[in-house]
């Protein structure tokens, strides 16, 4: 299959991109193209205009200031995977990237493209949810900051309006020495996750949980923060019983059944992977459970 005819635009600035989105009907943004191009080839998506973001200045880069990691939307997944700044300050992202597609797709895929595509099984949105990230969304009207909890609004649908685009992601960093882990199950390495789990833990010297974050992907229309599990852990000494009790809250999720897995199997995986993620995050803090 080949895509339907379209006009191709290559803006050079954020302002020019915003102007194109404001003036063109039925336009799509091309970031890495790992999802859009196949959908266009199969004519699942038919557009009149493609706006290529590859040459837009100001959309690439990794900076840290005031405890906030800021990543330009067009930063390639490969750059994030091998960035010393990411490895040192946001190791959960690096752990998750090992599960994202294959090396060839990470060479082209971008963080902004992944968030905007909003696949419920995607790893990078789960990392952003776990870290309480903020997404910068820009249009000709200006830039607004959207908390990630408000970014996914429905299945593969985000808070981005037709004349807007993602320009950056800001991630509040956890303190040095925190525990982290990302687990997922897929039929083959590089396949879409059936279920994934991301965990972050901050413990005091007595192994009491000061802060916890547990996020699932593949079980809802977007990343799912397990707030009940986090409440069970916070303020309690971390051990095997508390980790299992927190993971058990995943049995209450209501995933879909499809050709890849039944809802019951996804619930089972959610609890198993949630415990493994918490266990390995605890191990990173020096607690063996």
User: Tens digits of per-residue pLDDT, 25-66?
Assistant: 999 999 999 899 999 999 999 999 999 999 999 999 999 999
270 lies in a domain?
yes
pLDDT in tens, the chain (289 residues): 789 999 999 999 999 999 999 999 999 999 999 899 999 999 999 999 999 999 999 999 999 999 999 999 999 999 999 999 999 999 999 999 999 999 999 999 999 999 999 999 999 999 999 999 999 999 999 999 999 999 999 999 999 999 999 999 999 999 999 999 999 999 998 888 999 999 999 999 999 999 999 999 999 999 999 999 999 999 999 999 999 999 999 999 999 899 999 999 999 999 999 999 999 999 999 999 9
Same domain for 15 and 71 = no
Which CATH number goes with the domain that contains 187?
3.30.390.50
List the beta bridge partners of residue 27. Answer: 49
- Is the Cβ–Cβ distance between 50 and 27 less than 8 Å? yes
pLDDT of residue 154: 95
Which candidate, 86, 98, 281, places its Cα nearest to that of 184?
98
194 lies in a domain?
yes
Same domain for 131 and 81 = yes
DSSP state of 286: T
Which CATH number goes with the domain that contains 31?
3.30.43.10
Which candidate, 266, 149, 284, 275, places its Cα nearest to that of 203?
284
What are the structure tokens assigned to 108, written together? Answer: 């082209």
Which candidate, 71, 62, 63, 67, places its Cα nearest to that of 114?
71
Same domain for 72 and 163 = yes
Same domain for 255 and 199 = yes
57 lies in a domain?
no
* DSSP per-residue string spanning 241-266: HHHHHHHHGGGG--PPP-SS--HHHH
Same domain for 244 and 198 = yes
Structural domain ending residue among the three candidates 110, 142, 172: 172
Number of domains, the chain: 3
CA dist., res. 148 & res. 160, Å (int)? 12
What pTM did the predictor assign?
Answer: 0.95
pLDDT of residue 269: 98
Same domain for 110 and 212 = no
2 lies in a domain?
no
Structural domain ending residue among the three candidates 155, 172, 189: 172
Which CATH number goes with the domain that contains 139?
3.30.465.10
Same domain for 34 and 14 = yes
15 lies in a domain?
yes
Same domain for 242 and 167 = no
* 54 burial type by CB count under 10 A (0-12 exposed, 13-18 middle, 19+ buried): middle
Show the domain range for 208.
179-284
Same domain for 134 and 194 = no
% pLDDT > 90, the chain: 96
Same domain for 77 and 18 = no
**Per-residue pLDDT tens over the stretch 59-94:** 999 999 999 999 999 999 999 999 999 999 999 999
Same domain for 229 and 158 = no
Neighbouring residues of 235: CB distance < 8 A, sequence distance ≥ 6: 208, 209
Neighbouring residues of 253: CB distance < 8 A, sequence distance ≥ 6: 216, 219, 220, 224, 266, 267, 270
Same domain for 117 and 44 = no
25 lies in a domain?
yes
Which candidate, 273, 277, 50, places its Cα nearest to that of 181?
277
204 lies in a domain?
yes
Helix, strand, coil content of the chain in percent (nearest 5) = 35, 25, 40
289 lies in a domain?
no
pLDDT of residue 59: 98
């Amino acid at each position: 299959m080949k895509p339907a005819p379209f006009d191709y635009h290559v803006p050079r600035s954020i302002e020019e991109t915003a102007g194109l989105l404001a003036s063109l009907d039925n336009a799509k943004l091309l970031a890495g193209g790992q999802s859009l191009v196949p959908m266009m080839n199969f004519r699942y998506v038919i557009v009149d205009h493609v706006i290529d973001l590859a040459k837009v200045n100001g959309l690439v880069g990794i900076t840290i200031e005031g405890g906030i990691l800021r990543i330009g939307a067009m930063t390639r997944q490969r750059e994030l995977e091998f960035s010393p700044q990411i490895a040192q300050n946001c190791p959960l992202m690096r752990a998750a990237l090992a599960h994202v597609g294959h090396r060839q797709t990470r060479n082209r895929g971008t963080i902004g493209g992944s968030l905007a595509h909003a696949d419920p099984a995607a790893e990078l949105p789960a990392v952003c949810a776990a870290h309480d990230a903020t997404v910068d969304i820009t249009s000709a009207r200006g830039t607004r900051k959207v908390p990630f909890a408000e970014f996914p609004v429905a299945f593969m649908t985000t808070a981005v309006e037709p004349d807007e685009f993602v320009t950056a992601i800001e991630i509040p960093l956890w303190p040095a020495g925190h525990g982290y882990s990302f687990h997922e199950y897929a039929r083959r390495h590089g396949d879409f996750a059936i279920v994934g789990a991301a965990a972050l833990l901050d413990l005091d010297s007595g192994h009491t949980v000061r802060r916890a974050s547990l996020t699932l992907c593949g079980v809802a229309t977007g990343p799912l923060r397990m707030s009940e599990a986090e409440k069970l852990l916070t303020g309690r000494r971390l051990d095997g019983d508390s980790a299992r009790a927190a993971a058990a809250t995943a049995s209450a999720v209501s995933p879909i059944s499809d050709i890849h897995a039944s809802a019951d199997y996804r619930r089972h995986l959610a609890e198993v992977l949630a415990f493994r993620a918490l266990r390995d995050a605890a191990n990173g803090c020096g607690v063996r459970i």
